[in-house]
Structure 1
C-alpha cells in the first residue's frame, strides 16, 4: 500500500510540485519564456511568408496575366463536349442525346437577345471588320463594352427553330469557339497557300475561317454536306481583343455552328476541324490547339 502511495505521490508531484512551485517540471516563468519564444519564432515565420506573398503580388496585375506563354494560343473547343471526344447516341432513343441538346441550350442562353440589352453591349454589325481598339489594359481600367452576338446568326443550329439541334434527325450540330486569351489578336490568313483546297478562293479579310473534314481516309465521302453558320462562317476580328473578366465582363465570344447534314449512320465517323490564321499553329501534343477532332457514332 505504501508503494502505491509513493507512486501516486510521484505522479502528482510531477504535475504540480508545491514545494518548488513547478507545473510539469517547469516554473511559471520558464513556461512563459517558452511560450514567448514560440510566439516570436512562428510570428517571424508568418511574417516572412506574408511578406514573400505580398512581394509576389506586387509583380502581378489583376487585369492581365504576367505570363501567357505556358500554353500556345489559341485553343479551339466545341459544345457539346463528351468523354474521349465521342458523341454517340441512338435516333430511336431521345434520352441518349438529351444530354447533348441540354448542354447546347445551356451554353446558348447567354446569347439570347434579352441577355444582351443595356449600354455595355454594342451592335458591331454582321460583316467581318478589323479589331476594335477599346484602349490599353494597363492604363485604362474602366469596363469595356462588348459586341453583340445573337444566336439567330447560327441558323438552323441556333435552337430557335429546332430545339433538338439536328440530333433527332441524325444531322447534329456543333457550336465552336476560340478560347478567350487576354489581349490576343488572331490574324487572318494572308494567302490561299495556307488554306485547304475547299477554302481557296473564299478568303475574306478580317476573318478566321474554319474547315472540317474526315480525320481518316477510309471515312472520306461519309461526312458530305457540312454547313457553317455565323458571321462570315468564321471568327470575325472585330470581336478581338478580349480585355479579361474584370474589364470585359459582358464579352461574348463569336461562335460558328457546324451542321453535319449527311453523316453515315451505324458507322464510326471521325472528323477534324481546324481554324486558319497567320498566327495560329498546331501541335501534336495538344489536340485542341487551333483544332479539335470528334467521333460520331449514330445508330438508327
Structure 2
C-alpha cells in the first residue's frame, strides 16, 4: 500500500528529477499556451479568429432581434385593440360541456384573495374602514363622472340608493351593510330575461318580478345555518326596490369592448342591503343570476360567493327595513 502511494506521489512530483507530471520547468514553459499566444504569428491568428466570431455572433443576435420585433409588430397590427378577435360563441369560452355563462362580482373587496366582509360597528372612524374606503374608490373610478364626453358613454346611476350612500357609510356603521353585486363582462353576450327550465320551481317560489326587460338577481345563505343567520335583505336596483330579487336591465347589454383602448362601459349593478344579520356568526352568501341563457352551477357558473361577519348587533331602531 505504501509503495502504491509512493508511486502516485512520484507520478505527480518527482523530487529527484524535479519534474511535475513528467515535465520540468523548461519543458512546461516552452509548451505553455501563453507562450504560444505571445508568438507573433499565432497571436495574429488568434486575433483574427476572435474577430470573426465577434462579427458572426453580433450579426446573428441583431438578425434574431430584428426577426422577433418584426413578428411582434405584425401580431400587434393584425390583433384588434378594443375587443378580442373571437367572442361569444366563436370564442374558447364555450365548449360542449361548459356553455358561455357569465359569473358575478361583488364589492367591497379590498383584498382580491379574500371574500370576507367584516362589519365592525365599534370602529370609531368609519372613514378609516377599509371596506367603506374601497367602495368609495370603486364607485369613483368606475362610475364617476366621465372625464370626456362621448356618444359611447352611458352613465349608470341608481337614483335612490336609500342607505347605500357614502354619507351613510353604505350601512356599515349601522350594522346593515350594503354589498354591490354585478354581472361580469363578456363581449357580445346578451342576457335573455326569464329562467332556465331547471330553475322554474325555485324562481316561481321566490316571486321575482324584475320586469320584461331585465334579469333577476337573488342572494341566499349557502347552508341551512346560513339561511337562519342571514336575515332579510333589500335589493336596490336601477328602477325598483324589492325584498325578493334585484334586477339588471338588458338595455345595458351587450358589452362591446373598449373605445380607443379606454373602457368607458359602466356595468349595471344591484345594491343588496342585509338588514338584520346575526352578530358574531360567519354567514356564507351566494348571489346568483336568473336568465334564459345563463347557466347556474354552484361551483362556478352564474354566481358569486362572499362571507359576512358582524361583530356586534346594531341598535333596534336600525333594524327597520
2:43 corresponding residue in structure 1? 22
Counterpart-to-counterpart distance in 1, 2:302 and 2:248: 12
**Equivalences for 1:1-300 in 2 at 5 Å?**
3=25, 7=29, 10=32, 12-18=34-40, 20=41, 22=43, 26-50=45-69, 52-54=71-73, 56-57=75-76, 60-67=79-86, 68-70=91-93, 72-81=100-109, 82=111, 83-94=113-124, 98-110=129-141, 115-116=145-146, 119-120=149-150, 145-150=152-157, 152-159=159-166, 161-162=167-168, 164-189=169-194, 193=200, 196-200=203-207, 202-232=209-239, 233-247=246-260, 249-286=263-300, 289-300=301-312
| Paired residues of 2:208 and 2:216 also in contact (CA < 8 A) | no
Deviations for 1:255-290, whole angstroms, at most 9, x for unmatched residues?
11100011111222222111111221233543xx32
Query: How far has the Cα of 1:12 moved from its partner?
Result: 5.0
SS at match of 2:79: coil
Deviation for aligned residue 1:151: 5.0
Higher helix proportion: 2
| Structure number, greater radius of gyration | 2
TM superposition score normalised by structure 1: 0.74
Report 1 or 2 for greater relative contact order, CA contacts < 8 Å, sequence distance ≥ 6.
Answer: 1
The answer to whether the 8 A contact 1:165-1:173 is kept is: yes
Distance 1:257 1:11, change over 3 A: same
CA-to-aligned-CA distance 1:166-196 (integer Å, 9 cap, x gap): 1111111101121222222222216882753
Separation in structure 2 between the aligned mates of residue 30 and residue 111 of structure 1, nearest angstrom: 63
TM (norm. structure 2) is 0.70
- Say how many residue pairs are matched: 268
Task: Give the direction of change, closer, same or farther, for the CA distance of 1:210–1:92 in structure 2 (3 Å limit).
Answer: same
Q: Is the 8 A contact 1:209 1:234 kept in 2?
A: yes
- How big is each residue's C-alpha offset from its partner over 1:99-142, in whole Å with a ceiling of 9 and x where there is no partner? 111111111114666x147632xxxxxxxxxxxxxxxxxxxxxx
Q: Distance in 1 between matches of 2:201 and 2:191?
A: 15
Query: Per-residue CA shift, 1:61-109, capped at 9, x if unaligned?
Result: 2232134434844120010125542223432234698011111111111
* Contact in 2 for aligned 1:211/1:273 (Cα 8 Å): yes
Tell me how far apart the structure 1 counterparts of residues 162 and 153 of structure 2 sit (CA, whole Å): 22
